[in-house]
Amino acid sequence: MAELTVGERQWAVPFGSNLLDALNDAGCAVPYSCRAGSCHACLVRCLDGLPVDAKPEALSADKREEGWRLACQCTVAGDLRVAVFDPQRDGLPARVSTLDWFGDVLRLRLEPQRPLRYRAGQHLVLWCGDVARPYSLASLPGEDDCLEFHIDCSHPGAFCDRARQLSVGDEIRLGELRGGALHYDPDWQTRPLWLLAAGTGLAPLWGILREALRQGHQGEIRVLHVARDRAGHYLAESLMRMDGVSVELVLADQLDDALATLRPSSRQTMALVCGAPGSVERFSRRLFIAGVPRNQVLADVFTEHV
């Protein structure tokens, strides 16, 4: 048995125990969304001793040097003293500046207490009280004053339920900032750029699209957005106003027909896709059939609730 210590509490756990389970079974209430090392909600800091980490690459080197680990990926191999991520102590305060509803989609804008360095396409863990959830940044650094997030509240969930109660001026805490697969590379400037999104998978692509335009992208830009209903095309007006961008708005029950028409104009096409796992898989499969090489398809799959 190993001794696990959190604050003043100490208890015995079997060797080989999952650290997240050991903490939650003891009532430490460490949040999580995925148990796959993707959501980064289960951060803990190792103060004495180290667990076996199954996914060390999930955190940056500087975070690991500070002792941070993702509890869901760690196995207890010896005595450990850890501190659970405390949003009041470890998080960055941010004030709710704008709340816009488009059907069940909430466009949330936050003003952080101090500037946050990020790039278009990254993710940030949001803490609403003791509930944490990662969301893609839809804002563009250097151009947008606020951090913008698009939250799908169509289904009940701990964070969505809290989000529906937010008011302008409320405080949210910001947790781990991390990079995803999606970004814009200036080397792509002359290549066709396709952005395919389902639902609020449009959020990171909205920032990346504006980054591409800011950098003077010269190739074709095509946006395909899939939604359950017309209200789900929540950025349709803004997208349609963009010069040089071809926009296709597709309802979910018409997706197969829309995908069948995809014909890249060049094998140099770069495709960025985002959404729920099923949608991303359908996008990626069709792009491959259409002749876009796999290494030119960058995909970001939304974390599913556990």
Residue 265 pLDDT > 80: yes
What is the distance between the alpha carbons of residues 73 and 242, in angstroms, rounded to a whole number? 43
The dotted CATH code for 2-85 is 3.10.20.30
What is the distance between the alpha carbons of residues 96 and 216, in angstroms, rounded to a whole number? 32
pLDDT number for residue 29: 83
Supply φ then ψ for residue 120, to 5 degrees.
-55, 130
pLDDT number for residue 305: 53
What is the distance between the alpha carbons of residues 198 and 254, in angstroms, rounded to a whole number? 13
pLDDT number for residue 140: 97
Give yes or no on whether 2-85 and 186-301 have one common fold. Answer: no
Domain ranges of the chain: 2-85, 88-178, 186-301
CATH 3.50.50.60 for domain 88-178, yes or no, is: no
What's the whole-number mean pLDDT along residues 139-167? 94
DSSP-derived secondary structure letter, 77 = -
What is the distance between the alpha carbons of residues 253 and 114, in angstroms, rounded to a whole number? 43
pLDDT tens sequence across 175-213: 989 887 899 999 999 999 999 999 999 999 999 999 999
The dotted CATH code for 186-301 is 3.40.50.80
H/E element, 161: helix 158-163
pLDDT number for residue 116: 93
